[in-house]
Chains A and B, each alone.
Chain A
Amino acid sequence: MAGNNPNAKPMNLTLRVWRQKNRTSPGQLVDYKANGISPDMSFLEMLDVVNEDLLRAGQDPIAFDHDCREGICGMCSLYINGRAHGPERGTTTCQLHMRHFSDGDTITIEPWRAAAFPVHKDLVVDRSAFDRIQQAGGYISVNTGGIPDANVIPIPKTVADKAFDAATCIGCGACVAACKNASAMLFVSAKVSQLAMLPQGKTERKTRVENMVAQMDLEGFGACTNTGACAAECPVGISLENINMLRREFISAKASSENV
């Protein structure tokens, strides 16, 4: 039963899914059949169907992270056929639809792979390292209340728009999963750039970049070797320019470090 296309034909697929009981046990790829899949389904709805079948058969369903299913919360995180969030550019897993696959396909589904993102179970990974990086400095130190009127500081539209572009990072971790070094540079640079561009964020720009980079290193993310794989797979198009900006911020911060 398709949305507007009475001719959409259901597909039969084979899934090769990473199953892993918990953080410490080893995992493996297991094959499942996904039959009668409508091209109008989202990728996660396809997994729902498979899981319902598993449940009815008394088997443990496949665990995967998801929440908004609208491409904005950053919770979904599947590595599909060797690509973070699958084959469509600029698309999160939850916004990927089955019409991009064909009848008879075999689809391999794995979790994000990175030392800093250990697997909790099956396709669910622990991304708390990202939160700790933000806690290290991804904020402007203002308390609630006592703030002057919002229009006291005009911000040129071009600056506000660029800061917005950087601010749209959904924290999904696809950049890390796509990078052969498992580097988190794109993620970190998005926040550093957003706040460094805005007048409100300039006061703390030096300590911010130093502390966030230090935390990133501490978490065990790899070094950036400029492959650009991160930006190519980023579902919201965070640009590599941000990494350049992070580098400039970092160098100038170190040159006159306030972190002594």
Chain B
Amino acid sequence: MILEDTQISAATLDSKIPEGSLAEKWDKHKFNVKLVNPANKRKYDIIVVGTGLAGASAAATFGELGYNVKAFCFQDSPRRAHSIAAQGGINAAKNYQNDGDSIFRLFYDTIKGGDYRAREANVYRLAQVSVNIIDQCVAQGVPFAREYGGLLANRSFGGAQVSRTFYARGQTGQQLLLGAYSALNRQIAYGKVKMYPRTEMLDLVLVDGKARGIVVRNLVTGKVESHSAHAVVLATGGYGNVFFLSTNAMGSNATAAWRAHRKGAYFANPCFTQIHPTCIPVTGTHQSKLTLMSESLRNDGRVWVPKTREIAERLRKGEIAVADVAEADRDYFLERKYPAFGNLVPRDVASRNAKQACDDGRGVGTSGLAVYLDFADAIKRDGQAAIAAKYGNLFEMYQKITDENPYERPMRIYPAVHYTMGGLWVDYNLMTNVPGLYAAGECNFSDHGANRLGASALMQGLADGYFVLPYTIGDYLAKTPYDKISTEHPAFKEAENNVKALTDKLLSINGTRTVDDFHKALGSIMWEYCGMARNAEGLKFAKQEIRKLRDEFWQDVKVTGLNEELNQTLEKAHRVADFLELGELMVDDALHREESCGGHFREEYQTPENEALRDDENFAYVAAWEYTGAGNQPVLHKEELKFENVKLTQRSYK
């Protein structure tokens, strides 16, 4: 439902999709865009915030083309961006396995997997450039897995019916990021990219309505500084940490994107979050983050809980052991409900069913918030050695964290927040509605609709950075005069003063509750009411709770120390202040979307079999929200989605 005071904009949101058939659009567009003469490229400055896969690949490529680049990250080195943690792999429509893959199939799977809430043209382009990514990475020395014949190996991932996933053991993100990092380093050495690590963007600067720079804080000295450029790219990752607990790195945050949103950039589909079914469960209130166990485990592991609450209760109390539960007393609920896909149903379906089993009182582990992932049958069938060869490093990681041996007893898993499909609204050129401001990688909303397929985020980050932005940003710059804007310009000074004032305010409240206290409280509201299942009543309640919490934050937060030093509490305080606003927007978005699709499950909208019920007639659009001040209702802009190349169907995994 739309809250009464929400305005819906009548203006159309122009996604600038080029004319022509799906397959021709990108080639035609590349031909039609304006080019910057090679000798003039050095007259343009580009700022890239974030040096994960999307940012590092973009910054390196801009440098190669001849632009002057400044790149920023908050870690001590660009090599540590959250992309490093991706395990499973990266998709590409190479069809090396000759198993029927094609650009159209990857496009189709991505649109369908996203539950028909992504833009056809963008997704098709993503599938097209996916093949170049693999070539590029191999040329950089990325050691992908290979077959004995020396050619690249592939695996099927996340229930895909073709083997199109390239991987480097369980460390694909690491190897891809180190590849992009090496390309970035080469440009740093040439002097084309200037790198600012341990530096956090705290504001975006507009001059004449265009993005012309940023204000940053040096995280070691606290110094607040401005940087001016002709265009700004945000590649600052996802906002999953709004839930406090997620599989994201501790520092992952929404601040750069949110501050840009406050300056006018629309935030699209914020309620589309992905909850990953196979994570290691929470052990206590001290829990700081959640660890993902690769999806590939569901290829051999069987998910179950006890059939009855009584047995589950005795397991939780330690009165009986897992081995004591007779086969007849086990409920392999995914196999039972989805005989065709079984344990390989998509992430959202697997997660929701695990939650239902636990809500039903049949969860295991001391907290009751876990289900079993059992390898006993696979070990019996293939032998321990075969299972170890496939999953050895994952089993080891599990044992390190839980102190339990998964060869001997089933793993315990529970869903956790993993990825955010929503993000800054961008057009086909990856430009936000603010001229000169671009968004790439997980921080934009573009390609995954309401649900992302496994191994597609890495693909999108690198597609954006290596192959899309370098063309589209040139088109904008070619139409932009060379004139530089001094950081003495009043717009910069004003932004700097605002950042300083905000910091002073955070440091001066000197209340009684820590930043983490507030963050955890926000996380539990979000998880409870805007997590795996949502309903209008809960969302309305959550909205009030978040507002209350935000007021309390500004009255009672305690941030010690000074600005002029390395101050990790202050860093967190800035980020949590933004999460407290973003959380409310997510709730607004979830409330207004009266349908279930992908990761967004509204309890009121389900089929008689409890599956998600989409409403294509009324909700086949992107919801892009405009900021109107903290506590004010945002304005909704709709981008209607047109499907000309695929037929909309209800997903079924029975």
| Interface positions of A (Cβ within 8 A of B) | 1-7, 21-22, 38, 40-42, 44-46, 48-49, 52, 55-56, 58-61, 63, 65-75, 91, 95, 97, 99, 120-121, 124, 126-128, 130-131, 134-136, 138-145, 147-151, 153-157, 160-161, 163-164, 167-168, 170-171, 194-195, 198, 200-201
Q: Are A142 and B139 in contact (CB under 8 A)?
A: yes
User: Within the assembled complex, what's the spacing in Å between the Cα atoms of A168 and B171?
Assistant: 8
> Nearest chain A CB to B566's CB is how many angstroms away?
4
Q: Which residues of A contact B558 (CB under 8 A)?
A: 55-56, 58
- Docked Cα-Cα span, A41 to B78, in Å, equals 28
Residues in B whose Cβ lies below 8 Å from that of A69: 249-250, 288-289, 291
Q: Say how far A143's CB is from chain B's closest CB, in angstroms.
A: 5
Contact indicator A75/B565 (Cβ below 8 Å): no
CB distance from A141 to the nearest CB of B (A): 6
* Contact residues in B for A153 (Cβ distance below 8 Å): 138
**Residue B32 interfacial (CB < 8 Å):** no
Q: With A157-B146, A200-B141 known to touch, is A5 a contact of B77 (CB < 8 Å)?
A: no
Contacting residue for A160 out of B64, B146, B560, CB 8 A: B146
Q: How far is the CA of A160 from the CA of B78 in the complex (A)?
A: 25
Residues of A within 8 A of B182 (CB): 134, 138-140
The 25 sampled A-B contact pairs (Cβ below 8 Å) are A3-B403, A5-B366, A6-B366, A40-B284, A48-B288, A67-B75, A69-B288, A71-B397, A72-B171, A73-B249, A95-B397, A95-B400, A97-B400, A99-B403, A121-B566, A130-B77, A131-B185, A139-B141, A139-B183, A143-B61, A145-B466, A149-B135, A150-B152, A157-B146, A167-B175
Residues of A within 8 Å of B178, CB to CB, are: 167
> Contact between B80 and A73 (Cβ–Cβ < 8 Å)?
yes
The answer on a CB contact under 8 Å between A2 and B366 is yes
Contact of A171 with B77 in the complex, beta carbons under 8 Å:
yes
Q: Using Cβ atoms and an 8 Å threshold, which residues of chain B touch A41? A: 283-284, 286
- Interface: B503 (CB within 8 A): no
Question: Told that A65-B76, A140-B182 touch, could you supply 20 new A-B pairs with CB distance under 8 A?
Answer: A3-B403, A4-B366, A4-B402, A40-B284, A58-B560, A61-B560, A68-B85, A69-B249, A73-B75, A73-B85, A75-B75, A75-B76, A120-B566, A131-B79, A139-B182, A144-B57, A144-B136, A147-B139, A164-B143, A170-B174
Please name the residue on chain A nearest to B188 by beta carbon: A135
Q: How far is the CA of A255 from the CA of B183 in the complex (A)?
A: 28
Q: Interface size for chain B: under 10, 10 to 19, 20 to 34, or 35 or more residues?
A: 35 or more
Known: A144-B136, A164-B169. A67 touches B186 (CB 8 A): no
Which chain A residues border B85 with CB–CB below 8 Å?
A: 68, 70, 72-73
Instruction: Indicate if B239 sits at the interface (CB-CB under 8 A).
Output: no
A148 to B289, CA, bound (A): 41
B222 to chain A, nearest CB (A): 11
Contact in complex: A154, B283 (CB < 8 Å): no
User: Which residues from 342 to 377 on chain B have a C-beta closer than 8 Å to any C-beta of chain A?
Assistant: 365-367
Is B102 interfacial (CB-CB < 8 Å)? Answer: no
The B616-641 residues at the A interface (CB cut-off 8 A) are none
- With the chains together, A109 CA to B413 CA distance in Å? 32
Known: A2-B366, A157-B150. A134 touches B185 (CB 8 A): yes
> In the docked arrangement, what's the CA distance between A6 and B319, Å?
10
Chain B residue at smallest Cβ distance from A211: B189
Q: Is B17 interfacial (CB 8 A cutoff)? A: no
The reply to whether B286 and A49 contact each other, CB–CB distance below 8 Å, is yes
- State A142–B64 Cα separation when bound (angstroms): 9
Residues B131-155 near A (CB distance < 8 A): 132, 134-141, 143-152
Residues of A within 8 A of B156 (CB): none
- Whether A38 touches B183, Cβ cut-off 8 Å, given contacts A135-B189, A140-B139, A144-B136, is no
A72 to chain B, nearest CB (A): 5
Residues of chain A within 8 A of B75, CB atoms compared: 67, 73, 75
Contact of B286 with A48 in the complex, beta carbons under 8 Å: yes
Q: Which residues of B line the A interface, CB within 8 A?
A: 57, 60-61, 64, 75-82, 84-85, 94, 96, 132, 134-141, 143-152, 168-169, 171, 174-175, 178, 181-183, 185-186, 188-189, 195, 197, 220, 249-251, 281, 283-289, 291, 317-318, 365-367, 397, 400-404, 412, 466-467, 470, 512, 514, 516, 558, 560-561, 565-566, 568-569
Q: Which of A3, A5, A21 has the most CB of B within 10 A?
A: A3
Known: A155-B146, A200-B139. A45 touches B286 (CB 8 A): yes
Contacts of B403 in A (CB 8 A): 3, 5, 40, 97, 99
Q: Closest CB of chain A to B234's CB: distance in Å?
A: 19
Residue in B closest to A44 when the chains form the complex, CB atoms: B288
Is there contact, CB below 8 Å, between B143 and A163?
A: yes
> Is A38's CB under 8 angstroms from B288's CB?
no
Taking the nearest CB of chain B, how far is it from the CB of A15, in angstroms? Answer: 16
Residues of A within 8 A of B146 (CB): 154-157, 160-161
The minimal Cβ–Cβ distance linking A208 to chain B, given in whole angstroms, is 11
With A55-B514, A131-B77 as known contacts, state yes or no: A194 contacts B561, CB within 8 Å: no
Closest to A96 in B: B400
Q: Which chain A residue lies CB-closest to B186?
A: A139
Pairwise interchain contact B136-A134, C-beta atoms closer than 8 A: no
B138 touching A200 by the CB < 8 A rule? yes
What's the nearest-Cβ distance from chain B to residue A73, in Å? 4
| Residue of B whose beta carbon sits closest to that of A172 | B80
Which residues from chain A contact B220 at a C-beta distance below 8 Å? 120-121
- In the complex, what residues of B have CB within 8 A of residue A145's CB? 132, 136, 466-467
CB of B566 within 8 A of CB of A45, answer no
User: Which residue from chain B places its CB closest to the CB of A75 in the assembled complex?
Assistant: B80
Q: Which chain B residues border A195 with CB–CB below 8 Å?
A: 141
- C-alpha spacing A65/B80, complex, angstroms: 11
Contact indicator B143/A198 (Cβ below 8 Å): yes
The 8 closest A-B pairs by CB, nearest first: A154-B150, A139-B182, A164-B143, A3-B283, A150-B138, A147-B135, A1-B284, A73-B80
- Residues of chain B contacted by A60 (CB below 8 angstroms): 560-561
A194 touches B249 (CB 8 A): no
Instruction: Name B77's closest neighbour in chain A (CB-CB).
Output: A131
- Asked if residues B175 and A68 are in contact (CB atoms below 8 Å), the reply is no
- Shortest distance between the CB of A60 and any CB in chain B (Å): 6
A residues in contact with B366, CB < 8 Å: 1-6
Interface centre among A56, A75, A163 (most CB of B within 10 A): A75
- A240 → B minimal CB distance (Å): 20
Asked if B84 and A128 make an inter-chain contact with CB atoms under 8 angstroms apart, the answer reads: no
A140 touches B77 (CB 8 A): no
CB distance from A175 to the nearest CB of B (A): 16
Q: How far is the CB of B440 from chain A (nearest CB, A)?
A: 14
Contact partners of B57 in chain A: CB under 8 A? 144
A40 vs B94: C-alpha distance in the bound complex, in angstroms?
44
CB distance from B592 to the nearest CB of A (A): 34
Residues of B within 8 A of A154 (CB): 146, 149-151
Q: Which residues of A contact B568 (CB under 8 A)?
A: 61, 63
Partner of A4, one of B135, B152, B288, B404: B404
The listed residue (A73, A124, A148) touching B566 by CB distance below 8 A is A124
Min CB gap A187→B, angstroms: 12
